[in-house]
Amino acid sequence: MKRIYLDHGATTPMHPQVLEAMLPFFGQVFGNPSSIHSFGREARRALEESREKTALALGAAPGEIIFTSGGTEADNLAIQGVAEALSGKGRHLITSAIEHHAVLDTFKALSKKGFEVTLLPVDRYGMVDPDDLVSALRDDTILVSVMMANNEIGTLQPIEELSRICREKGVYFHTDAVQAIGNIPVNLKELPVDLLSLSAHKFYGPKGVGALFVRRGTKLGKLFFGGGQEKKQRPGTENLPGIVGLAKAIELAVVDIPGKAAAMAALRDRLIGSLLEQIEEVQLNGHPVQRLPGNVNVSIKYVEGEGLLLDLDLKGIAASSGSACTSGSLEPSHVLMACGLDHQTAHGSLRLTLGHNNTAEDVDYAVEIIKGSVARLREMSLLYKNYRRKNDNPQTGEEETSCITKK
Amino acid sequence: MKRIYLDHGATTPMHPQVLEAMLPFFGQVFGNPSSIHSFGREARRALEESREKTALALGAAPGEIIFTSGGTEADNLAIQGVAEALSGKGRHLITSAIEHHAVLDTFKALSKKGFEVTLLPVDRYGMVDPDDLVSALRDDTILVSVMMANNEIGTLQPIEELSRICREKGVYFHTDAVQAIGNIPVNLKELPVDLLSLSAHKFYGPKGVGALFVRRGTKLGKLFFGGGQEKKQRPGTENLPGIVGLAKAIELAVVDIPGKAAAMAALRDRLIGSLLEQIEEVQLNGHPVQRLPGNVNVSIKYVEGEGLLLDLDLKGIAASSGSACTSGSLEPSHVLMACGLDHQTAHGSLRLTLGHNNTAEDVDYAVEIIKGSVARLREMSLLYKNYRRKNDNPQTGEEETSCITKK
Amino acid sequence: MYNEKVIDHFQNPRNAGEMFDPSGVGEVGNMKCGDIMKIFIKVENDRIEDISFLTFGCGAAIASSSMLTELVKGKTLDEAMKITNMDVANHLGGLPEAKLHCSNLAADALHKAIEDYRSKVQ
Amino acid sequence: MYNEKVIDHFQNPRNAGEMFDPSGVGEVGNMKCGDIMKIFIKVENDRIEDISFLTFGCGAAIASSSMLTELVKGKTLDEAMKITNMDVANHLGGLPEAKLHCSNLAADALHKAIEDYRSKVQ
Ligand SMILES: Cc1ncc(COP(=O)(O)O)c(C=O)c1O
Ligand SMILES: Cc1ncc(COP(=O)(O)O)c(C=O)c1O
């Protein structure tokens, strides 16, 4: 069976050159970068070269890069770290309603520890309004965190404007750029953010390694205590092969972003167009223009997302959904709900995230498969039958559905 | 130049079979274990198989293994996690004076947050006395953490006895087994510890991945917030290749530990014997018998450790030292100081840690090189000249040395 | 996640579709939880002669609807009333923990359909 | 960590060893910090005619002792008094940050040796 991977927002396959760059560090160059002998020094050299490459790709200085075990740790280090370092100055924090759980749940945990958290709302496209940030800022605000690109709906936030507002007020600004790196240009020389998180496996690098950019002079507490690694900011023997892989991946990722993004956006728009045209009752979620070049998120009404994913998977298409049934919790995606979708529309969401290996052929093939799956599932969907009936005899009111919720 | 690696306590070269086991997960099996499609399910299967293998190697249940980014994170998760979960019950913590910084500095950080920490002393061999633990335990003690094997001097603690004392009192017991795994047998079915940390790169596995054993029912807070991975106890996309590597490494590590340990201890004793016999004014640090099979730690008087390491390194021998000059801090090893060594003896410490690839030939060759280096450095050592002079004319008193400390 | 039997019922659902002149119908679930099921039965001589379902919901919801219809077809109403959601899950060879309580409601819908039929014939 | 010049002075130290009839000696450092240096000078016509050192310490301490002796051999005492620890580090092409303050004390030892000499000839 032909398998097509359309879930690059979840993770990406590693670039072959990244593996090639990593391999020596699983072999001869196995030293601990903290050791002072030649084995250690070779390792240290590779570590510092990786830091330089990573910094260069972001427009940062090498001393501003802290390697972590991934995006989640980077987000936690930024948020918990600032909260700890500045708790004497103030206890008010601001974030958006559509952040990834690594950010949102960290703020939730802080709100249980005596911090006050303001959630900025988003419009129907998932966009934060800078005016809302201006109104939310207080004298005791110590940190604002707004993601650069949303992982579910792909919406790009006005980070330049948001961060400038914070810079003027002297408030630290963190952005979760986990989905942005490699997809849109990021130049930290010009963007006044103080902290930025990234995760290698989202841009064709290895899993289990990420980084936090910490602008020089930014005060930051820490999550772990231990050895002197990463300027004591993040102790533990460094994941050297992973770090070398991250550096290689980001080096590759930032080559000709505009060109790659344009090609991918064209593919994305072809996919969106086909879905909207060829399937009835489909709506696009997220922003029509300000969105990640590879992100497609649609709600296919009267079909439940997890069932659709399963059917697609059985036919070789790998995708994801904001349906509650895929999350383990009983709630549908907080992102779609924050955009104002009703439960039914949120349950019927389908996210397709393109990667560099996807072709127009893949896209067209996927559309065919999705069409078939949707038709099959709608055929047994109570909601679809109700909709058809209402459409055919518009006078009939929709029945109430009773609810049995068990736990 | 012939290079001999005698620093396996710092890190080990990866076993070729470990790399082999990892490679597919950098290639086709790249899915995110949280994804519900086939790519994700393949990844999840490998994740859970790795958890089973790891559990099996330790005599634990799969549900008791949490994968982390290394030993430091595992130590922090255990200690910060228990402190958070049980802070309502008590605020007294106990650890030993010779723990790794990942443990010691975490306790130090907690002591700044309202916890009270008792440091158990050690004898001249680095051994904790169980009677000291009994005296230190209080009604408000919530956690005791004592390492299984010391990383510098190799001393093995009486963990069975210490953990039994805690179990009887209903106090959680954590052990940092980072240096022990693969070197001495560990069976968690019989050993009543509640939490145990390990790190793959110390037993021929990959860097940047470790695990925390958390006995079923043990209450534990967390370090990070985010997705639902590792039962929400440790969120973040899993480092799947690393985890697969850890599992393979521990599977290999626990095969015939008694046989491997006996062979290595024989090599270790040959090395210790040669150093003590062939170089004057050398003393063994750590316990003569209760020590890691691969650990040699000696103090070579009148020679400073960092200079010796450098000279050995230039001649191809990779080792380490507890000298302050190797640590970046101005203090010599807290472990050697806790064993009662004076500054000079601590500064002259040399740690040689054997690995499975080392041979008797390596050991003999290393001894020759060390002899030469020591002779050369003593030739220009003021302290050695003083010692010789005193030895030759025993009546002359030793001069006071003036001190200029700048910072 | 799902075993082969569940996948089979999901891919080849038995008795899916509307029924045009049912003796009774039962519906459970709500939009918030994401699963809604409707069971249609045709009753003759106190036996379930025919049965069908419509389901908006995840794989588990569809498979358990399908399995339920297969289980009770031909059974007497009293026999059918004894079937529980857990029986359905067991006949499927088990469902993921998370799905047991939210998506495994087909027996409830059936019981409602039987009650509906009984309330009408009384 | 160390550059080639430092390594060269460490491996092939110039003027290492005791001097038997020195005009002055100077010693700095202490056991706690881990570095102790002693400089021996032979002075003739207000010039450093000969110089040697003994050092217990790390690579940087040995290299900076060696470098210092090379730098001042033949200089007048006044010239030698002007040489600083930083000059020594610079002539070595730099030392690691952590070593600059604890192991780079050779000039201090030299100044003490000169003072020792001067106190004796007065
Ligand atoms: C926006 C965003 N932030 C944070 C994360 C967490 O990254 P990781 O899973 O690498 O820890 C992810 C991906 O899962 C993400 O999409
Ligand atoms: C005893 C001990 N505990 C903890 C650690 C920390 O492990 P890691 O460096 O993998 O985080 C080490 C090794 O550095 C160790 O030897």
pLDDT digits (tens, 9 = 90+) for D63-87: 999 999 999 999 999 999 999 999 9
Same-domain check for residues A234 and A262: no
| A6 located within any domain | no
What would the mean pLDDT of A207-214 be, rounded to a whole number?
Answer: 98
| B307 located within any domain | yes
User: Residue A401: its pLDDT value, please?
Assistant: 42
Task: Count Cα atoms within 13 angstroms, Cβ side, for A209.
Answer: 33
pLDDT in tens, B99-121: 999 999 999 999 999 999 999 99
Domain endpoint, select from B200, B228, B253: B253
For residue B285, is pLDDT > 90? yes
With 0-12 / 13-18 / 19 or more C-beta atoms within 10 angstroms meaning exposed / middle / buried, residue B134 is exposed
What would the mean pLDDT of A126-155 be, rounded to a whole number?
Answer: 98
What would the mean pLDDT of A95-108 be, rounded to a whole number?
Answer: 97
User: Residue A403: its pLDDT value, please?
Assistant: 36
Active-site residue B166, yes or no?
A: no
CA distance B196 to B159: 11
CB pair distance less than 8 Å for A226 and B106 = yes
CATH assignment at residue A195? 3.40.640.10
Same-domain check for residues B31 and B172: yes
Residue A114: count of CB within 10 angstroms of its CB: 9
What token pair was written down for A206? 């290895």
| B145 located within any domain | yes
Grade residue A326 by pLDDT with cuts at 50, 70 and 90: low
| A327 located within any domain | yes
CB pair distance less than 8 Å for B102 and A312 = no
CA distance D35 to D54: 11
For residue B82, is pLDDT > 50? yes
User: Residue A402: its pLDDT value, please?
Assistant: 38
What would the mean pLDDT of B126-150 be, rounded to a whole number?
Answer: 98
Interface test with B, best of A15, A18, A41, A207 (most B CBs within 10 A): A207
Distance C48 CA to ligand 1 centre (A): 51
CA distance A275 to chain C (A): 21
Ligand 2, residue B147: give the atom nearest the CA.
1
CB pair distance less than 8 Å for A208 and B31 = no
Q: Which ligand is nearest to the CA of B227?
A: 1
pLDDT in tens, B355-389: 999 999 999 999 999 999 999 999 999 999 999 98
Domain endpoint, select from A233, A253, A273: A253
| A399 located within any domain | no
Interface test with B, best of D14, D28, D53, D56 (most B CBs within 10 A): D56
pLDDT in tens, B228-264: 888 889 999 999 999 999 999 999 999 999 999 999 9
Among B7, B14, B235, beta carbon nearest to A26: B14
CB pair distance less than 8 Å for A11 and B328 = no
Taking CA–CA distances from C6, the nearest residue in chain A reads A310
CB pair distance less than 8 Å for B72 and A35 = no
Grade residue A322 by pLDDT with cuts at 50, 70 and 90: confident
Distance B203 CA to ligand 1 centre (A): 30
Torsions phi, psi for D38 (to 5 deg): -135, 130
Same-domain check for residues A249 and A268: no
User: Residue D30: its pLDDT value, please?
Assistant: 76
Parent domain of D31: 4-121
CA distance A358 to A295: 13
CA distance A157 to A196: 14
CATH assignment at residue A378? 3.90.1150.10
Contact criterion met (CB below 8 Å) for C23 and C40: no
Three-state DSSP class for residue B233: coil
Place of tokens 């025993």: B394
User: Residue B47: its pLDDT value, please?
Assistant: 98
Distance B397 CA to ligand 1 centre (A): 67
Model-level pTM? 0.95
For residue B401, is pLDDT > 80? no
Grade residue B323 by pLDDT with cuts at 50, 70 and 90: confident
User: Residue A214: its pLDDT value, please?
Assistant: 98
What would the mean pLDDT of B320-325 be, rounded to a whole number?
Answer: 78
- Identify residue A325 by its one-letter amino acid code: C
For residue A75, is pLDDT > 80? yes
Same-domain check for residues B167 and B81: yes
CB pair distance less than 8 Å for B402 and D30 = yes
| A148 located within any domain | yes
For residue A399, is pLDDT > 60? no
User: Residue D103: its pLDDT value, please?
Assistant: 79
| Ligand 2 lined by B179 (C-beta under 6 Å) | yes
CB pair distance less than 8 Å for C34 and A304 = yes
What token pair was written down for A298? 């649609």
Please list every protein residue whose CB sits less than 6 Å from any atom of ligand 1: A 70-72, 75, 100, 102, 147, 151, 176, 178-179, 199, 201, 210; B 236-237
* Nearest of A189, A94, A110 to residue A147 by alpha carbon: A94
CB pair distance less than 8 Å for A344 and C31 = yes
Residue ranges, chain C, pLDDT below 70: 32-33
CB pair distance less than 8 Å for A402 and C13 = no
What are the chain A neighbours of C53 within 8 Å (beta carbons)? 380
For residue B395, is pLDDT > 70? no
User: Residue B328: its pLDDT value, please?
Assistant: 59
* Nearest of B300, B289, B347 to residue B125 by alpha carbon: B289
Taking CA–CA distances from D35, the nearest residue in chain B reads B304
Q: What is the ipTM of this complex?
A: 0.94
- Which subunits count as partners of chain C given 3+ CB pairs below 8 Å? A
- Which subunits count as partners of chain B given 3+ CB pairs below 8 Å? A, D
Q: Which ligand is nearest to the CA of A295?
A: 1
Cα–Cα separations (whole angstroms), residue B308 to B285, B347, D94: 17, 10, 21
Taking CA–CA distances from D8, the nearest residue in chain B reads B314
Contact criterion met (CB below 8 Å) for B63 and B52: no
- Which subunits count as partners of chain D given 3+ CB pairs below 8 Å? B
Same-domain check for residues A264 and A211: no
Taking CA–CA distances from B209, the nearest residue in chain A reads A239
Distance A68 CA to ligand 1 centre (A): 12
Taken as a whole, chain B contains a residue count of 407
Work out how many CB contacts closer than 8 A connect A with C. Answer: 99
CA distance D44 to chain B (A): 25
Same-domain check for residues A263 and A220: no
Partner D contacted by B375 (CB < 8 A)? no
CA distance B391 to chain A (A): 34
Among A5, A207, A227, beta carbon nearest to B240: A207
What are the chain B neighbours of A71 within 8 Å (beta carbons)? 236-237
| Ligand 2 lined by B100 (C-beta under 6 Å) | yes
What token pair was written down for B197? 């940390």
Grade residue B404 by pLDDT with cuts at 50, 70 and 90: very low
Number of domains composing chain C:
1
Same-domain check for residues B242 and B212: yes
| Ligand 2 lined by B102 (C-beta under 6 Å) | yes
CATH assignment at residue C117? 3.90.1010.10
CA distance A100 to B224: 13
Name which of A197-201, B35-39, C113-117, D41-45 the model is least confident about.
B35-39
Q: Which ligand is nearest to the CA of B75?
A: 2
Q: Which ligand is nearest to the CA of B99?
A: 2
What are the chain B neighbours of D17 within 8 Å (beta carbons)? 379-380
Same-domain check for residues B324 and B339: yes
Query: Rg for chain C (alpha carbons), in Å?
Result: 13
What token pair was written down for A197? 């998180």
Ligand 1, residue A207: give the atom nearest the CA.
10
Number of domains composing chain B:
2
Distance of CA A193 to the CA centre of its chain: 17
User: Residue B324: its pLDDT value, please?
Assistant: 66
User: Residue B332: its pLDDT value, please?
Assistant: 85
pLDDT in tens, B172-204: 999 999 999 999 999 999 999 999 999 999 999
| A193 located within any domain | yes
User: Residue D29: its pLDDT value, please?
Assistant: 86
CA distance B80 to A356: 42
Taking CA–CA distances from C55, the nearest residue in chain A reads A381
What rounded mean pLDDT belongs to chain A? 94
Q: Of these residues, D7, D16, D54, D102, which one is catalytic?
A: D102
For residue B327, is pLDDT > 70? no
Parent domain of B364: 257-392
* Nearest of A398, A338, A406, A394 to residue A100 by alpha carbon: A338
Domain endpoint, select from B229, B253, B277: B253
Distance B269 CA to ligand 1 centre (A): 49
CA distance B195 to B128: 19
Torsions phi, psi for B26 (to 5 deg): -95, -5
Cα–Cα separations (whole angstroms), residue D58 to B138, B370, D84: 45, 16, 19
Cα–Cα separations (whole angstroms), residue A148 to A125, A170, A273, B93: 14, 20, 25, 42
| A218 located within any domain | yes
For residue A404, is pLDDT > 80? no
Same-domain check for residues A299 and A151: no
How large is the angle between the packed helices A257-278 and A360-379, nearest 10 degrees?
A: 30
What would the mean pLDDT of B216-235 be, rounded to a whole number?
Answer: 93
Place of tokens 């956006």: A265
